Structure 1
């Protein structure tokens, strides 16, 4: 059967028999065949004869492919379907052509790169082309295997994050994003499992969880392992957004059953975050990220959470603050304010609490509660604490120099539980006191209850080391944590700071009065001084003084002051 080429209009039919060679001398034929046989790939010389393509010569590799074809009985050129390309090259419409061709099916097919190049001829009627077939089957199969490996989790055989995102992108493009949701499941305390039963036990737990999660899926949902202890699901919405919550409920149920590993029965707690593609209006990668933002909120609330756009804005702000805070610490562009600590007995100043302040040139004033939380989450609390200690002591030293005497003042500096756990606090404090030639009693290191309760033994060693350099020690926000009174008795603490939640409104609340009186009695019995936070009236200051509180701070006396104003306040109080 002949067909007309859409490119040239020349009739192109089935190729001629290989032996059908015309107008060629034996010497030329021999040289040409020798050249073709020297090629490491299948090759043939073709020409047009009466409008039909003829093979004038072919090497052994070409003939072998013709015999081994897996997709039909026609000659190999009929399978390639390159008649148009050959005619274009013969007519001079193209210098050369190259394209890929698969011979056979997806599973058992072979892959070739087909090249068509012109051969020199005396005129157009004598034009010939060289057609070569480069077998790339092994290369293509290796590439597919590597790609599959790149997109698959080696432990569970599920898709990994890259494969999950790619598959989700395809589904959203084919079916519409409004039909899908993403759910992310995080296994809590997974590192503790590895510690208890080893990495092999941890792997066994992951495989068990994967099997259970697969049992919750419907036929059109998809599961992937996107992190060490994190799984993600593509949930097809059939009856509406409620489908994803229904799947989440089933996930919670199957994971509530304990898993048996070695001699342990482990109950897997999980957090679940979900995001709807229709509401997110984003691509697959961002949709997964939105589900993970919801997951972070789920870890905090201990319930299934749906992504809210406000959560993304909050996440972006935290990231921005982290970046800017790191730069501010490195450039020392933070400020420090000082709130007076007043003696309730004499009414004169006893010291100051140093408080970090941040006024960003673009973001404006950023509240301490916000940037300190970011610092603790990101690990920047350690360099921030070091900066605060050095700035406070440098300011105290500058006050002495400006007053031309050693002022009877101390400065309190807050250190976080994270810094106590990670930093050499005693060495840091001792070095700073030596650098500024200050006595240890002029520094009060304030630690929260959580910093002490988290690791009492380490905290005890740290406090003992701090006492060796004569620094004062204060327990901040006392009464809001879970202090063990037995350990409190053993720790070398000088001052208990009563949290403002007990002080505010105390005069009208007998229960608060009773709590404050109990704390003051406890401190007195242990030989500790006390500081009340949040004093905002004269009556409150007088009541606390009558109850035996040592010092106080609050807006009744003064807000946090910048360095110059704080020095003036101190000198006026001391005069």
Structure 2
């Protein structure tokens, strides 16, 4: 019989008006039915032998659907004793009114059990035994489907263990693993019934929190419980280590994607690291973050296509009223977004590393523009250009080589350039700042400390570093007319600069009174809207000409930019 040649259990079924019957089968089919019969009377035996069972219904529907090949998965029994079969139907030639099909039975028990074991391993973190990142996504999805009236929704908490990399590096990976296991156990102790914990990253854990009537307040209480259980130091070998964590919270919304919810909580973690307390995800903050990423992409394209401009704000001698130089300032007019403020795109450039490209572009453009003014006037003008340097540039770029290249390509001498570093950039790495300053001085350039008074620098830096100019931050200058303390600070800075042989520049001069007061106090030069806004290159040189007229009045005569 041909059925006996098949390597699987098989039988021939006939379906007619009287019902279904098995007209032939092989030995493997008989054994499969016998095994099932021994385990349960309601399982595979009934399916195959009962004329009105599931097989008959399935076969009838199958014939009605033009007899295409079909499969039916079936479980026989429950629990660990359950067996799994796949029933397959294939059409056979009909005999008159009798419709026939070949039924094959594949025992998939071993396959299903192996799949379940493999899936369990795939969803488990091998170190802590907790569910892993993939399992956490399924946990979040399952929570979103729950409709328990005793809960007021769910929240996802992401807990990031701080300083873990330093501990791992200093004490070794085995100690790091021990810390992770202990950390996970403490997290478990902070959970309530209905909460679920998973390890979602190297030193990151995710928690699905069932909210009571308190909503977001419940989520923040859960974060507080976690922080409380982490108060006690962790003992590793003979050391006791205090481990802190940053916690981000995201509330689950109806029909929200699990991955999106998890990303929201991770975004809140970044804010928590900055604030030092648990943070709840705010869509507005995320929207701003997405805008920053968008600006990063657009800025990269703008730099590649040379779509940025360099404007120049006049620096005026407060005694004579003459323009002695210009500060170069990057400006970006986006074809769709319009004007994008430097306060928005400069931080993005620093965060993304684009500040290196932007800084080199600004240095070359400023030097080229100043050389172009000389060529246009037919003489070397008594002007210099100030170019700002970022702390990121100082840390990552070869500043001296960049400046030397700009001087060489433009033909300018070093004293025509002033390099401005913020006080905070100097404080971050004084040794590197010293090396950079010395290298710049070797090129005969002028070095200025920008935003002086805002970076908490040591006075020793001023004495040790070759700084030529102190630029007084606008926050002190603009408050001089209403705040006696600001006047006292500016007076002290001017006295300090004079004692150290440094020139001074005041930023943010926006009124005649400020200009007069600063001149009286002995400030060397100033810049601000009282004199002119940042100007395009052509307008800047025209402004310089207008201030060089013999009939020039004192600085109290305001010239609008």
Query: Hey, what does 1:101 align to over in structure 2?
Result: 74
Provide the alpha-carbon RMSD of the alignment: 2.8
User: Normalising to structure 2: TM-score of the pair?
Assistant: 0.87
Unpaired stretches in structure 2, ≥5 consecutive residues: 49-53, 550-561
Is the CA contact (8 Å cut-off) linking 2:494 and 2:522 kept in structure 1? yes
Q: For 1:536, which of 471, 491, 510 is the aligned residue?
A: 510
CA deviations over 1:475-504 (Å, ceiling 9, x no partner): 111111122233432222222211112222
**2:291 corresponding residue in structure 1:** 317
C-alpha distance after superposition, 1:51-101 (max 9, x if no partner) = 465444433433443343374146834246322233556789524322222
Indicate the larger mover: 356-365 or 288-297. Answer: 288-297
Asked if structure 1 preserves the Cα contact closer than 8 Å seen for 2:504 and 2:524, the reply is yes
**2:248 — aligned with what?**
273
Matched ranges for 1:147-546 at <5 A: 147-175=119-147, 178-241=152-215, 242-278=217-253, 282-546=256-520
- State the SS of the aligned residue for 2:198: strand
Per-residue deviation, 1:217: 0.7
Q: Please report the TM-score for the alignment, with normalisation by the length of structure 1.
A: 0.85
Aligned to 1:555, the other structure's residue is in SS state coil
**2:530 matched to which residue of 1?**
556
Out of 28, 31, 46, the residue aligned to residue 78 of structure 1 is 46
Q: Mark the CA change 1:51 to 1:535 in structure 2 (over 3 Å): closer, same or farther.
A: same
Q: Which residue in 2 is equivalent to 1:21? A: none
Rounded Cα–Cα distance in structure 2 between residues aligned with 1:495 and 1:141: 77
With over 3 angstroms needed to count, the CA separation of the structure-2 counterparts of 1:71 and 1:495, relative to structure 1, is farther
Counterpart CA distance in 2 for 1:187 and 1:124 is 73
Aligned residues: 540
Work out the CA distance in 1 between the residues paired with 2:64 and 2:526.
Answer: 99
Larger mean CA deviation between 172-181 and 428-437 belongs to 172-181
Could you say what secondary structure the match of 2:137 adopts?
helix
Note the residue ranges of structure 1 that are not aligned, 5 or more in a row.
1-31
The answer (yes or no) to whether the contact 1:293–1:311 under 8 Å persists in 2 is: no
Q: What do the CA deviations read for 1:133-185 (whole angstroms, capped 9, x no partner)?
A: 23334443444444444444343232334322322222222327952122222
CA-to-aligned-CA distance 1:416-464 (integer Å, 9 cap, x gap): 1122222222222222222222222222221112212212222222222
Deviation of residue 522 (structure 1)?
2.8
Alpha-carbon separation, structure 2, partners of 1:140 and 1:542: 87
Q: Is the 1:294–1:311 contact (alpha carbons within 8 Å) kept by the matching residues of 2? A: no
Q: Secondary structure at the match of 2:456?
A: coil
Corresponding residue for 1:29? none
Distance (whole Å) between structure 2 residues aligned to residue 330 and residue 512 of structure 1: 43
Using a 3 Å threshold, how does the CA distance of structure 1 residues 76 and 284 change in structure 2: closer, same or farther? Answer: closer
Preserved CA contact (<8 Å) 2:310 2:331: yes
Which residue of structure 2 aligns with residue 123 of structure 1?
Answer: 96
Deviation of residue 259 (structure 1)? 1.6
